[in-house]
Structure 1
């Protein structure tokens, strides 16, 4: 793979000039705004601060991708997203559920084979193949919600809400190319806006529960 090769993956892009995706590029401000809003709620919690920093990086990386449209920019786009998922999963296991460090780390690492099994399945399904990796996340949130529905019902409901927002967000991402003929700007920018809301909301969920239980391990 040539890291400097350019490619077109979105409806809004019509050529390889820097501002060919102005709406897709500018709406990455939503991630940065969400990070700046949530960082004020962290009360110094290290996990919350880390999540806000990664959310900020998601906005920067996605901006680079939607302006440069190169292999290296694609990596800058997806790497912070993957890091956010793994970090959040570890913090849930360790800080919200109080699991031992080794168990929290092990279950977090288990996300890799989990996604490795599910991505090919989603890839084989009509519509779901467009965002095959991303669908693993609301499914995982749903699984946690089911497991916690009796012991932590409020947290379970928060996870269901997050999964619902994310599912809508992924749907908007997935229909971008299919609606291109009718909507020239596509729908990818709505993925940015709604996904920023969802990721910020999930930081809110984490902070709400971890700050309410000051004795939980962090």
Structure 2
């Protein structure tokens, strides 16, 4: 019997057995993250800003998101779950720092405070979700990222800022809208399982890959506050 990090994980509608390819749609759609990373890399190369290493790091992390998620939807164990979650969390934290610096033009101390606030909201989220249980509980770790996108985007949009900052703020708000739809698809996977045996989690992958590309494009092209 498997135990510890090799414990099998079965939390998606599409998986009905422990077989490696029991989630064909969920596994295959991870290619969207690699496509997003390759497209962003091509944009980064064309942009003439090859010294922009933070954007390049985010591009690499986007590719790792696809690899980690592929592992989780094939191997489907606890350790593969970590391979899935860690790159996503790294992208969120690095991008938040970049957005606070480039979109809002914050200094190091203010950026640190913003990051601390994000972690505080993340820590409080499980308690908040317990007050109102529902299908959103399984996606609670992503709500702070949505809140951050909306907050930074809205503040940036309201600032009397340069065109580059305004464009970045608009991109963050667009990403927030797409991410909202993506979260709905993620939360609907198990509740709609009887009606849709393939589930809806694969839509989470496709929409999230789009979200990451929108964010990468903004990071590459708009640096007015950097």
TM-score > 0.5, shorter chain as reference: yes
Aligned to 1:132: 140
Aligned residue in 2 for 1:25: 27
Q: Does 1:169 align with 2:176?
A: no
Deviations 1:177-208 (A, max 9, x none): 11111111100001000100001111111222
CA distance in 2, matches of 1:140, 1:181: 34
The 1:27–1:123 alpha-carbon spacing in structure 2 relative to 1, beyond 3 Å, is: farther
Measure, in 2, the Cα distance between the counterparts of 1:11 and 1:123. 23
* Deviations 1:91-135, CA, capped at 9 Å, x for gaps: 112233332234323422432112111343135433322311112
Structure 1 residue 149, shift from structure 2 partner: 2.7
Q: What is the CA RMSD across the aligned residues, in angstroms?
A: 1.7
Mapping 1:137-156, distance limit 5 Å: 137-151=145-159, 152=161, 153-156=166-169
Measure, in 2, the Cα distance between the counterparts of 1:38 and 1:141.
Answer: 20
The aligned runs of 1:86-105 (5 Å cut-off) are: 86-105=93-112
Find the partner of 1:189 among 176, 197, 202. Answer: 202
CA contact (8 A) 2:167 2:218 kept: no
Worse overlay, 132-141 or 71-80:
132-141
Equivalent residues in 2 for 1:96-115, closer than 5 Å = 96-115=103-122
**1:46 Cα deviation from its structure 2 partner:** 0.7
Q: Does 1:55 align with 2:62?
A: yes
Distance 2:116 2:87 in 1: 16
| Structure 1 spans left out of the alignment, 5+ residues | none
> What's the counterpart of residue 222 of structure 2?
209
- Give the TM-score normalised by structure 1: 0.91
Contact 2:118 2:144 in 1 (8 A): no
Q: Structure 2, unaligned stretches of length 5 or more?
A: none
